[in-house]
Amino acid sequence: NAGVTQTPKFQVLKTGQSMTLQCAQDMNHNSMYWYRQDPGMGLRLIYYSASEGTTDKGEVPNGYNVSRLNKREFSLRLESAAPSQTSVYFCASSEEGGGRYEQYFGPGTRLTVT
Amino acid sequence: AQSVTQPDIHITVSEGASLELRCNYSYGATPYLFWYVQSPGQGLQLLLKYFSGDTLVQGIKGFEAEFKRSQSSFNLRKPSVHWSDAAEYFCAVGPAGGYQKVTFGTGTKLQVIP
Query: For A42, which residue in chain B has the nearest alpha carbon?
Result: B106
Looking at the complex, report in whole angstroms how far the Cα of residue A96 sits from the nearest Cα belonging to chain B.
9
Query: Could B106 and A42 be called an inter-chain contact, meaning their C-beta atoms sit closer than 8 Å?
Result: yes
Query: Which of B15, B91, B2 minimizes the C-alpha distance to B49?
Result: B91
Query: Which of B104, B6, B38 minimizes the C-alpha distance to A43?
Result: B104
Q: What is the pLDDT of residue B28?
A: 74
Residues of B whose CB is below 8 A from A5: none
Substitution target in B99, B106, B108 with the highest count of A β-carbons within 10 Å is B99
Distances, alpha carbon B108 to alpha carbons A16, A23, B19, in Å? 34, 27, 12
Q: What is the DSSP string of B12-60?
A: EEETTS-EEE--EEE-SS--EEEEEEE-TTS-EEEEEEESSS-SEEE-G
Residues of A whose CB is below 8 A from B31: 99
Residues A92-108 have pLDDT tens digits of 999 887 667 889 999 99
Query: Could A4 and B43 be called an inter-chain contact, meaning their C-beta atoms sit closer than 8 Å?
Result: yes
Query: Could B49 and A102 be called an inter-chain contact, meaning their C-beta atoms sit closer than 8 Å?
Result: yes
Query: For B6, which residue in chain A has the nearest alpha carbon?
Result: A42
In angstroms, the CA B28 to CA B2 distance is 8
Q: What is the pLDDT of residue B98?
A: 55
| pLDDT at residue B96 is higher than 70 | no
In sequence order, the β-bridge partners of residue B104 are: B92
Residues A36-80 have pLDDT tens digits of 999 888 899 999 998 888 999 998 999 999 999 899 999 999 999
Looking at the complex, report in whole angstroms how far the Cα of residue A105 sits from the nearest Cα belonging to chain B.
5
Q: What is the pLDDT of residue A40?
A: 84
What secondary structure letter does DSSP report for A102? P
Q: What is the pLDDT of residue A97?
A: 72
Residue type (1 letter), B107: G
Residues B19-76 have pLDDT tens digits of 999 999 988 777 889 999 999 888 999 999 998 888 999 999 999 999 999 999 999 9
Query: Could A98 and B100 be called an inter-chain contact, meaning their C-beta atoms sit closer than 8 Å?
Result: yes
Q: What is the pLDDT of residue B53?
A: 81
Does A102 contact B at CB distance below 8 Å? yes
Q: With a CB-CB cutoff of 8 Å, which residues 19-38 of chain A face chain B?
A: 35
